[in-house]
Structure 1
Amino acid sequence: MKEPKQRSDQWQQRARKFLEASRTKVNHFSQKAKAKLQRIFHVPSNPSRSQQTKAQKKDYIQSLSQSSWLFKINVGLAAIKSIILYGISIGLILFALVAGIGSGYFAALMKSETIPSYQVLKQQLDNTDQAAGLYFDQNVKFGSIKTDLVRTPVKIDQMSPYLTDAIVATEDEDFYQHSGVVPKALLRAVISEVTGFGSQTGGSTLTQQLIKMQVLTSQVTFKRKATEVLLALRVDKYFTKKEILQDYLNVATLGRNNKGQNIAGVQEAALGLFGKNAKDLSLAEAAFIAGLPQSPSVYTPYDQDGTLKDPEYLKYGLDRKDTVLFRMYRDHRITNAEYKAAKKVDLTSEFQAKTEPESTSKRYGYVYNLLESQATDIMTKQLAKEANISTQKLNSDNTLYQQYQTQATELLSTKGYQIHSTINKDIYDSMQNIVKEQSSTFGYTYTDTETDAVTGLQQQVSSPVQNGSVLLDNQTGKIISFVGGRDFSLKQTNYMLTKRSPGSTIKPLLVYGPAIDQKLIGSKTMLADFKTNFKTYAPTDYGGTIQNKFIPADTALAQSLNIPTVNLYNELRKTSDPSKYMSKMGLNLPATDYNQLGLALGGTSDGVSVLDQASAFSTFADQGQHVDAYVIDKITDPAGNVVYQHKSQKTKVFSKATSYIMNQMLSGVLTDGTASTLSDQLYFNTNNLVGKTGTSNDNRDIWFIGSTPGITLASWMGYDSTGRNLTDSASSINEQYWAKLANSVYQLDPDSMKLEADRTKPSTVISSKVLKLTGQLPGSVSLNGNTKALDGTTTTSLYNNWTPPATTYEFGIGGSTKNYETFWNHYLGYNNGYGSITYSTADELDPTADNKTTTSTNNSTSD
């Protein structure tokens, strides 16, 4: 092994050799560099000192000075060249990166888009019946969305050649050269969109405009634009330029005609502006029409009522005509002489004089209005959702809602959609015939004097008893049929949707159902019906009567007694919140209403609609589950693709046990309650029929709602004016009318009623034998110092998964100490007036009850 000193010497020798070699290489490199620089700048080699002269020294010094400046300049130029090359390289890389990202984004947007076939595209592009079609159930069409857009398609051979030349020269001068899109125009439009600079309208060819008008919406999103480009390329591949141009000229919107109607297509423009066919247009007339698509509302010569605009506004369209003529001349489509001659033509004298449009009448007016309103709302929310705007934000911002509502209206009136409803045509027709036949029995028709909103003149109008009815499917919520009013031509108000006092139809929903669900009562729990006063509120039963006894809950509901119901509601509010039940059933009343005891009898500040009340009532028929009512099943585009499909969602409101018990209690309304005469008028088995009557103060509102396991049918009657009342026989009249409606449903579609369906008793329903006197189990009570064992006649009471206690002294809900004393003394044999009906005098009733609204119901009952 070598010594450490020897190893150290060896490392030092190696280091010296490495340094000498490095120095030699550096010197060699320096000599080569020096020689290269001399060649570049033409610098002579350094002469020997013996041969140098003073002149040579001077020249040498000047040469070195010049070479120094030249060196610096060349280095600078080389640096600039490198920077430019690097910039170009980086630019190309960034362009490739952006192009790649853009292509990927485009591909991602288009990934879920289905590529339409030739047949589908042809159907969409050729479709000139653009208003949305309206359908009953089972695809039965009855009309289209009303639109004043008038359109008459013609073949391109029936159009003036001036028209086709003018529209191409003005809207798309490269139409015959491009393949549906113009890349440079698209790039310009994208840059403008991203940066905010430049024109905001560039980029659309005639082909793209046709796609936007016939296939897509006008909503400005990258996805819609990308879809537009894709479809434009496909259209250009499938169709000839002549076919594309023909479709465009037949569907382009072109302002208004002399009737004030919106017009589309050159044929209607030619007729409505100049009174001639499209093939007969002159050069000046064709140029005027070709200038309209850019801004139809500005350039059109007519106002909304069909009158000719003032000259100062008419000038815009005439100037636009001259612009079109110039572009035709510039594009070599007309000669200079034709251009000058057409500019001189005074079109003002050729415009048609104002005329009135033909009057049209709506068939199925109530259905039409309902579907149009619902479809517009659906599409408004759908368009907002596509723009990432939440429904909550949309509903809270009225301006924003109107913006998307306008888009939705345009979509439904111009894109050829189909709106499919749930309405059964046969049942609907039958119900309209029944209301027409029976309406004369509803009540007296008043004659009122009103001021015409248009003319300002006084006119006489009829004010009959109106009716709103609705038939619902309990399990799905679909509206099978309805009655909007007595006569659409007389009054267009849909009374199925107007809000009125629900009267006693609110009792099972607000009071009895929640009380059973909260285990507060069973079906035979005793409720007090004695004279009572809740500070400023003193309810009575119908007609100002008081029963002066304790009454079982099912009897109180069947006979629609008020005082027991108010006592129960007062007790219910102490331990639970009834508003939660109501909101789950779609009944969203103001919070202040729930603080008023009169709400238990129908005293609401705003009222409820027939549709909402019927929908809530159907909850009991579907085992305590509520599903919102709906009338539009789906909306499809012209190709049949579903753009909206209703999806029912159920909300659990009551337990199955509660629903079963409520159905048992509500059946008593028809067997021995306020609607006991109804069953005799029906053609079908009523064993599974339940219902509830309702009457607001002074017979202003009359109701009956009935349910079978399959359907719920509700009927309301009343006057428009809340100051007018129906007679005491109105409830019977309404039940007779309801019976005729129900019979027609049974005759046309008996299966929908599910009359034979069993209401299976859930295992959570507890049946207990309770004393008829107390509604509780037998027990013992101390009376006058003596303990008395209670027994006697029993009855079956149903409970929501609980059992009642043994009878105590205060066994019921409501009632004062004096009321219980009266009861027990009567039990012991005293004749003290217990159970004798009395009447409250007028001065005992407080007219300023705790519901001080037009729909308040101090003593409202269902009969």
Structure 2
Amino acid sequence: MKDSKQRSSQRQKHASALISKGRRKVNTLFSKIKTKLSHSMPWLNNWFNHQDKDQNRIFVDQFSAKPLTFKLNAFLEALKSLVLYGISIGLIMFALGLGIGAGYFAALMKEEPVPSYQVLKQQLDNTDQAAGLYFAKNTKFGAIKTDLSRTPVSINEMSPYLTDAIVATEDEDFYKHQGVVPKALLRAVISDLTGFGSQTGGSTLTQQLIKMQVLTSQVTFKRKATEVLLALRVDKYFTKKEILQDYLNIATLGRNNKGQNVAGVQEAAQGLFGKDAKNLTLAEAAYIAGLPQSPSVYTPYDQDGTLKDPEYLKYGLNRKNTVLFRMYRDHRITKAEYQAAKKVDLTSEFQAKAEPESTSKRYGYVYNLLESQATDIMTKQLANEANVSTQKLNSSPTLYKQYETKATELLSTKGYQIHSTIDKDIYDSMQEIVKQEGSSFGPTYQDTTTDPITGLQSVGDTPVQNGSVLLDNRTGKVISFVGGRDFSLKQTNYMLTKRSPGSTIKPLLVYGPAIDQKLIGSKTMLADFKTNFKTYAPTDYGNTIQNKFIPADKALAQSLNIPTVNLYNKLRKTTNPATYMDKMGIHLSDDEYSQLGLALGGTKDGISVLAQASAFTTFADEGQHVDAYVIDKITDPAGNIIYKHHTKKTRVFSKATSYIMNQILSGVLTDTDGTATQLSDQLYFNTNNLVGKTGTNNDNRDVWFIGSTPGITLASWMGYDSTGRNLTDSSSTINQNYWAKLANSVYQNDSSIMKLEEDHEKPSTVTSSKVVKATGQLPGIVSINGNTRTVDSGKVTSLYNNWTPEATQYEFGIGGTSSNYETFWNHYMGYNNGYGTIMYGETKASQSESE
């Protein structure tokens, strides 16, 4: 008996010890939890203290109880404490998570503007979703072309079956909620965070309307939070009937029997069943109501408007039955109606294939340009929002295509407005001129061409084409352009195609950098003698050689080739010309820069008219370059700016260099032997501040003229397509005459943009020196054939970029051999040795230029 009592007592002690040990572990655990929570939320301290006192009191009371009762009660109390602590912590963590979520939502929405009733109504009611296209001064001329057809109608013109079907299928609680369903939204958030559960998104019809009309399809927490905020506001502002009407007018609903994408129930009813939305039967309404979930899968038509095969048609028909069941389950139709509609064979009711109406693009060149530019802008903007760098985007065609597709969708569905820089009046007048003058450009040939895709050959007209552009020198905006002779004949925009720039590259690549690098002044002498750079032997126009030294300004005004090549050869040894060209937006390869023929326009792929004209504006804007642009801004339907062009200027040349280059380039029009001396007589305006440069490449393949006033630069290129056809010898004159007519039209439309009376202000860094006309250097003493001679007669003013030349030396110019200098000095001494007598090259240079 005694042993039994001892064993019982030992068991009790052992149980008590285990319970005490367990309680200590639990207390330690909760002490750590309390400490962490108390640090973040001090207000919990009082509550915890109160709980501790209660638990200590209970524990002490249990120690005074009977042993068996103590064991049971202690266990139950410990379990109860664990449960209470668990519930308390769960509630606290839930409240904490709710608070953090609310705070995060508030932070996301802090900078989000709250739209007014008028703004929301305009956005929701807007059924013209394709981006509008505008000339400058807010003049609309069209919209981004899309095959999305939409015809809005009042909800009173829709079958009641249709409205009931869409609610039962897409949002059965539509008439009960306030724009969002919290439980569905919470379920969607948990699904997004965990990756488990339904991926429905928890969107009500109101939220879907917001996504389609106001927001982008980008999946981010901020966009979702904005969607919720706007859905609540829409439900507050508008009736359920108004919301439903807007949704049914803009929802995308697959394709019609013409292969066109359709949106809105009226277009769907017409395109599928050949009737108005108000006349739809129950089965037809159910079919259309099933389309929004997956229009491409459930639509009955292929891209060309033919009816799908039964194998694929069944998906839409099965979806129709699902809609009918939901209508029946929602007590919107009777069981008899449900069963009858299920049996309807809609296949026989679908319309037969039809051809879409033909459409023509007005202002085709402008349309294509704006569509391309806007798509590129939006593509880069979307990628940037996704933290994808422009470099990465451009280096991956697949990645670019991904964001380009999204951009195209936005421009087709969000009702944006694309505002361009194109002046409609000037553009119209330039198109009229190219139409009138085109026949004078040169003969039109009949050529056989091969389609690069199909390989099929066809015979068609090959006329002389033209690409022209008018730029604002200081902002870079494209004021107007000519894309080609006839858009209906060929849609290629010749303002953007790359062609050999001919001699128009000389001031940009050679003379401008040489002056900026203090290599030459305006009267520095350049050699124009027969020369051979290993395998390259340039000549001047007509295979001629001047056989003398030429001042730099005269060499450029007369567009002589040999002096230019000599100067480029010297320039490359002192600086990298690519530094200048890159800053002006012209990017060529190292191999191209290594070729002396580049100085005469010998590029591999060519340079576009737009890029060449843009680079030329640098001289007019005191040596600063701005990139050309055609899109000023893009706005949403409410007028909010989602993109705005910002002009950024880059210093290319010093102000002194630009001033000197303008003085030299004016000689192209004023010098006796300038290549455009006849131009001024054809212009209606003061040409005192007009500068320009002609350009012609081998065999008259391409001809150019670029002219600048202080305000604008106008460039014109002529040539045949890449067919081997060449222009005539008179093509440069024809192009200049045409350029004059374009310039006159600009002057007559808006002379203020030309800034004709603004003189090029001479910077203080321009140095003027009186140099010897024959040597281009200051007077000096030279030893000639052993005789000392003072050289100081016949002085002219030479301009320099903040430096002065040396006194005349025996070898005073750039280029030329010892024999060439000997010939010069003997001629200078009075010998008649043929110096200055024009010679002819043995073979025509591979990069010879006419101007």
**C-alpha deviations, 1:193-252, integer Å up to 9, x for none?**
111222222310000000010111111111111111110000000000011001000000
Partner of 2:486: 487
1:320 CA displacement: 0.7
User: Which structure 2 residues correspond to residues 345-384 of structure 1 after superposition, within 5 A?
Assistant: 345-384=344-383
Contact 2:62 2:74 in 1 (8 A): no
| Aligned AA (2:689) | N
1:459 CA displacement: 3.6
What is the SS of the residue equivalent to 1:629?
A: coil
Structure with the greater alpha carbon radius of gyration: 1
**C-alpha deviations, 1:125-146, integer Å up to 9, x for none?**
1111111111111111101110
What is the SS of the residue equivalent to 2:665?
A: helix
Within 2, Cα distance between the matches of 1:499 and 1:720? 11
1:77 CA displacement: 3.5
Residue 860, structure 1, aligned to residue 848, structure 2: yes
Within 1, Cα distance between the matches of 2:727 and 2:604? 21
Within 2, Cα distance between the matches of 1:370 and 1:779? 59
Residue 278, structure 1, aligned to residue 277, structure 2: yes
What is the SS of the residue equivalent to 1:371?
A: helix
Within 2, Cα distance between the matches of 1:218 and 1:837? 71
What is the SS of the residue equivalent to 1:575?
A: coil
Change (3 A) 1:728 1:176: same
TM-score by length of 1: 0.90
Contact 1:674 1:862 in 2 (8 A): no
Greater CA deviation, 337-346 or 446-455? 446-455
What is the SS of the residue equivalent to 2:573?
A: helix
What is the SS of the residue equivalent to 1:619?
A: helix
Number of equivalent positions: 794
Contact 2:777 2:806 in 1 (8 A): yes
Partner of 1:202: 201
**C-alpha deviations, 1:820-855, integer Å up to 9, x for none?**
11111111122211111111123xx57xxxxxxxxx
What is the SS of the residue equivalent to 1:449?
A: strand
Partner of 1:521: 520
1:114 CA displacement: 1.1
Once superposed, which parts of structure 1, at least 4 consecutive aligned residues long, lie more than 6 Å away? 30-35, 452-457
Within 2, Cα distance between the matches of 1:562 and 1:32? 108
Contact 1:544 1:859 in 2 (8 A): no
What is the SS of the residue equivalent to 2:567?
A: helix
Partner of 1:465: 464
Residue 809, structure 1, aligned to residue 810, structure 2: yes
User: Which structure 2 residues correspond to residues 363-512 of structure 1 after superposition, within 5 A?
Assistant: 363-450=362-449, 458-512=457-511
**C-alpha deviations, 1:735-767, integer Å up to 9, x for none?**
000000000001111111011001111000000
Within 1, Cα distance between the matches of 2:486 and 2:105? 54
Change (3 A) 1:266 1:558: same
1:384 CA displacement: 1.7
Partner of 2:769: 768
Within 2, Cα distance between the matches of 1:722 and 1:76? 98
Within 2, Cα distance between the matches of 1:794 and 1:763? 22
Change (3 A) 1:789 1:201: same
Partner of 1:11: none
| Aligned AA (1:307) | T
Partner of 2:265: 266
What is the SS of the residue equivalent to 2:184?
A: helix
**C-alpha deviations, 1:656-676, integer Å up to 9, x for none?**
000000000000000121001
Greater CA deviation, 413-422 or 96-105? 96-105
Partner of 1:572: 571
Greater CA deviation, 339-348 or 799-808? 339-348
What is the SS of the residue equivalent to 2:612?
A: helix
Contact 1:542 1:859 in 2 (8 A): no
What is the SS of the residue equivalent to 2:769?
A: strand
| Aligned AA (2:289) | A
What is the SS of the residue equivalent to 2:797?
A: strand
Within 1, Cα distance between the matches of 2:728 and 2:115? 63
Within 1, Cα distance between the matches of 2:61 and 2:93? 41
Within 2, Cα distance between the matches of 1:860 and 1:426? 39
Within 1, Cα distance between the matches of 2:510 and 2:226? 55
Residue 679, structure 1, aligned to residue 667, structure 2: no
**C-alpha deviations, 1:774-828, integer Å up to 9, x for none?**
0000000111212111121000000000000000111000011111111111111
1:76 CA displacement: 3.6
Within 1, Cα distance between the matches of 2:85 and 2:706? 82
Within 2, Cα distance between the matches of 1:73 and 1:297? 67
What is the SS of the residue equivalent to 1:320?
A: helix
Contact 1:505 1:862 in 2 (8 A): no
| Aligned AA (2:538) | P
TM-score by length of 2: 0.91
Partner of 1:793: 794
Within 2, Cα distance between the matches of 1:685 and 1:502? 28
What is the SS of the residue equivalent to 2:142?
A: strand
Within 2, Cα distance between the matches of 1:476 and 1:860? 35
Within 2, Cα distance between the matches of 1:178 and 1:630? 48
Contact 2:703 2:731 in 1 (8 A): yes
Partner of 1:841: 842
Within 2, Cα distance between the matches of 1:120 and 1:785? 91
Residue 730, structure 1, aligned to residue 731, structure 2: yes
Within 1, Cα distance between the matches of 2:83 and 2:447? 88
Change (3 A) 1:670 1:32: closer
Within 2, Cα distance between the matches of 1:658 and 1:280? 76
Within 2, Cα distance between the matches of 1:703 and 1:136? 27
Partner of 1:779: 780
Greater CA deviation, 795-804 or 534-543? 534-543
1:453 CA displacement: 8.1
Partner of 1:629: 628
Within 2, Cα distance between the matches of 1:312 and 1:35? 78
Change (3 A) 1:453 1:148: farther
1:456 CA displacement: 7.7
Contact 1:602 1:860 in 2 (8 A): no
Partner of 1:95: 94
Contact 2:59 2:74 in 1 (8 A): no
What is the SS of the residue equivalent to 2:316?
A: helix
Within 2, Cα distance between the matches of 1:533 and 1:588? 28
Partner of 1:744: 745
Partner of 2:303: 304
**C-alpha deviations, 1:336-373, integer Å up to 9, x for none?**
11111111111111100000000011110000000111
**C-alpha deviations, 1:571-601, integer Å up to 9, x for none?**
0010111101000000011221111111000
Within 2, Cα distance between the matches of 1:117 and 1:779? 81
Partner of 2:183: 184
**C-alpha deviations, 1:16-55, integer Å up to 9, x for none?**
xxxxxxxxxxxxxx9998985574xxx4xxxxxxxxxxxx
Within 1, Cα distance between the matches of 2:789 and 2:78? 118
Within 2, Cα distance between the matches of 1:683 and 1:406? 48
Change (3 A) 1:792 1:259: same
Change (3 A) 1:334 1:678: same
Contact 2:542 2:850 in 1 (8 A): no
Change (3 A) 1:358 1:831: same
**C-alpha deviations, 1:371-391, integer Å up to 9, x for none?**
111111111111222222222
**Unaligned stretches of 5+ in structure 2?**
1-55
User: Which structure 2 residues correspond to residues 222-233 of structure 1 after superposition, within 5 A?
Assistant: 222-233=221-232
Contact 1:503 1:860 in 2 (8 A): no
| Aligned AA (1:207) | T
Within 2, Cα distance between the matches of 1:457 and 1:496? 27
Partner of 2:555: 556
1:82 CA displacement: 2.1
User: Which structure 2 residues correspond to residues 79-94 of structure 1 after superposition, within 5 A?
Assistant: 79-94=78-93
| Aligned AA (2:389) | S
| Aligned AA (1:730) | S
Contact 1:541 1:859 in 2 (8 A): no
Contact 1:504 1:860 in 2 (8 A): no
Partner of 2:114: 115
| Aligned AA (2:699) | D
Within 2, Cα distance between the matches of 1:860 and 1:483? 28
Within 1, Cα distance between the matches of 2:565 and 2:81? 93
Within 2, Cα distance between the matches of 1:439 and 1:71? 111
What is the SS of the residue equivalent to 1:618?
A: helix
1:393 CA displacement: 2.0
Residue 721, structure 1, aligned to residue 722, structure 2: yes
**C-alpha deviations, 1:503-530, integer Å up to 9, x for none?**
0000000000000000000000000001
Contact 2:601 2:847 in 1 (8 A): no
Residue 536, structure 1, aligned to residue 524, structure 2: no
What is the SS of the residue equivalent to 2:81?
A: helix
